[in-house]
Amino acid sequence: MRLATWNVNSIRTRLDRVLDWLRRAEVDVLAMQEIKCADDQFPALPFFELGYEVAHCGFNQWNGVAIASRVGLDDIEVGFDGQPSWSSKPDLAAAAEARALAATCGGIRVWSLYVPNGRALGDPHYTYKLNWLAALRDTAEGWLRDDPSAQIALVGDWNIAPTDDDVWSVEYYRGCTHVSEPERKAFNAIVDAQFADVVRPFTPGPGVYTYWDYTQLAFPKGRGMRIDFILASPALAARVAGAQIVRDERKGKAPSDHAPVLVDLRND
């Protein structure tokens, strides 16, 4: 079974590229982030024609997550227990954003996650990000406490570079989000809750990235970050036979600024 995650940066803009890659890569389950469309705008039919069921969660032109699967799509769940809410303006009520979606695909509980960006150190969105990650950790820890043999994949755009090797320049990002110690601790707390980074052993760094900004020729200059991850529960991690960061998908016409990340799983 092949499981992948990809921040597509607008599914309607990137639809042809995503479908073409699914055909070529023989992906069984694809978790997507930043679909950037409301549910009634999601282009589901082309996925169905390719043999995939699709679940999606999008409220407007921002954020949004989806899962496409050709091995089953059951028990769809929007958001996780305790997921924090957010309001961009003091006079607007806080609400849960379209950042977390789960489905059971071929016996694996797949969570497509788009972790809040944080914006800047000291910004309220940064506090929201840390609270969001803490709630995810607590809830995910509970899943394994209830069922230590559960096969769970926490996948997506984490908006965190966990080590200095995960950024092209430590000095460039000094004092910024994505690399701060609280963010890194929040990421590692989820790893410590027994969700292993199962891609890194097959794609060691430094200089191995999943995201490159569109500006200043960041991609050809190798100025990237590793911020997209597949974290697996112990039972699922034991099945991982290989992993890739598909860097070539950052090339060509109108790419996403992220590359797909995938793992190959042995059968139970």
* Domain residue ranges of the chain, discontinuous segments joined by +: 2-265
Give per-residue pLDDT as tens, 86-98. 988 777 788 889 9
**Residues of each annotated binding site:** 7, 34, 157, 159, 257-258
Catalytic residue status for 56: no
Give per-residue pLDDT as tens, 234-255. 999 999 999 999 999 999 999 9
pLDDT at 108: 98
> Mean pLDDT for the chain?
97
pLDDT at 62: 86
* Model confidence pTM above 0.85: yes
Pair of tokens at residue 115: 């972790």
pLDDT at 147: 98
User: Residues 28, 157, 166, 197: which is the catalytic one?
Assistant: 157
pLDDT at 75: 98
Catalytic residue status for 114: yes
Give per-residue pLDDT as tens, 35-50. 999 999 999 999 999 9
pLDDT at 94: 86
Q: Calculate mean pLDDT across residues 78-83.
A: 97
**Residues of each annotated binding site for Mg(2+):** 7, 34, 157, 159, 257-258
Q: What is the CATH number of domain 2-265?
A: 3.60.10.10
pLDDT at 155: 98
pLDDT at 92: 78
Q: Is the pLDDT of residue 268 over 80?
A: no
